[in-house]
């Protein structure tokens, strides 16, 4: 069977992990992991690698069918987002039980939203290309970071309490978001969107 090519990056981490990008497969490994352990780990995930390579190819084809957004269209999306998203934040903030400071609308290459430790919220205007439920899922996600600045089980418990359909629409964004980002980027989706990671797969 043909050996799977990859780029190896060693660090102080404690586990082995895979990261698949359009330019190839990256294996992240602890300094103490042996070459044999790494090769075995990669081979054990051969099916995972193939499935996600096919997924990246589907995203490429999907993105190629969508026209690039003009500067005028991007400005229109930003204006729509400035009208829509703050209203959704005002609606969900009391449901989450938090306050917030500022709301910024940007046209970003990768992130759909963010929340700073001071409560400043930022959202990508390209969300306006997605269904309304996706917008709400991102809004609730960022507001819940006002309670938990992490992605722990406690964080997702807050999210699902307020927005029970969160996982359905988050999945939609993972599947379709890269193509939406590409309409603004004029290239392949950025690092955040193109990444598929096997976390904590085995201990080295």
Q: What is the pLDDT of residue 143?
A: 98
Task: Decide the pairing of beta strands 24-30 and 15-21.
Answer: antiparallel
Give the pLDDT mean for 130-153.
97
Start-end of H helices in 21-165: 35-44, 46-64, 71-96, 132-144, 153-162
What pLDDT, in 10s, does the model give residues 13-64? 988 998 887 778 999 999 999 999 999 999 999 998 988 888 777 777 776 7
Mean pLDDT of 109-135: 95
Claim: this prediction has a pTM higher than 0.85? no
Copy the structure tokens of residue 123.
């959202």
Residue in the block written with tokens 């290309």: 129
The confidence score (pLDDT) of residue 56 equals 77
pLDDT at 195 over 70: no
Q: Which domains does the chain have, with CATH numbers?
A: 7-66+193-203 (no CATH), 71-185 (3.30.2010.10)
User: What are the beta bridge partners of residue 202?
Assistant: 16
Q: Computed from CA positions of residues 148, 152, 156, 158, in that sequence, does the dihedral angle turn out positive or negative?
A: negative
Q: Secondary structure of 78-118 in the HEC alphabet?
A: HHHHHHHHHHHHHHHHHHHCCCCCCEEEECCCCCCEEECCC
Determine the average pLDDT of the residues in 175-202: 58
């Amino acid at each position: 069977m043909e050996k799977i090519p990859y780029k190896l990056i060693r660090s102080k981490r404690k586990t082995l992990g895979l990261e698949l990008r359009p330019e190839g497969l990256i294996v992240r490994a602890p300094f103490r992991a042996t070459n044999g352990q790494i090769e075995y780990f990669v081979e054990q995930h051969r099916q995972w690698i193939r499935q996600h390579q096919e997924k990246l190819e589907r995203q490429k084809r999907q993105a190629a069918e969508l026209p690039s957004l003009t500067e005028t269209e991007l400005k229109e999306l930003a204006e729509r987002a400035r009208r829509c998203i703050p209203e959704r934040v005002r609606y969900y903030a009391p449901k989450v039980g938090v306050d917030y400071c500022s709301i910024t609308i940007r046209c970003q290459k990768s992130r759909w939203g963010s929340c700073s430790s001071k409560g400043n919220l930022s959202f990508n205007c390209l969300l306006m290309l997605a269904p309304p439920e996706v917008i709400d899922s991102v809004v609730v996600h960022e507001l819940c970071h006002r309670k938990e600045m992490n992605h722990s089980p406690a964080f997702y418990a807050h999210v699902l309490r307020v927005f029970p359909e969160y996982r359905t629409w988050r999945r939609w964004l993972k599947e379709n978001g890269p193509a939406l980002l590409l309409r603004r980027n004029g290239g392949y989706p950025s690092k955040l969107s193109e990444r598929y990671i096997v976390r904590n797969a085995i201990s080295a």
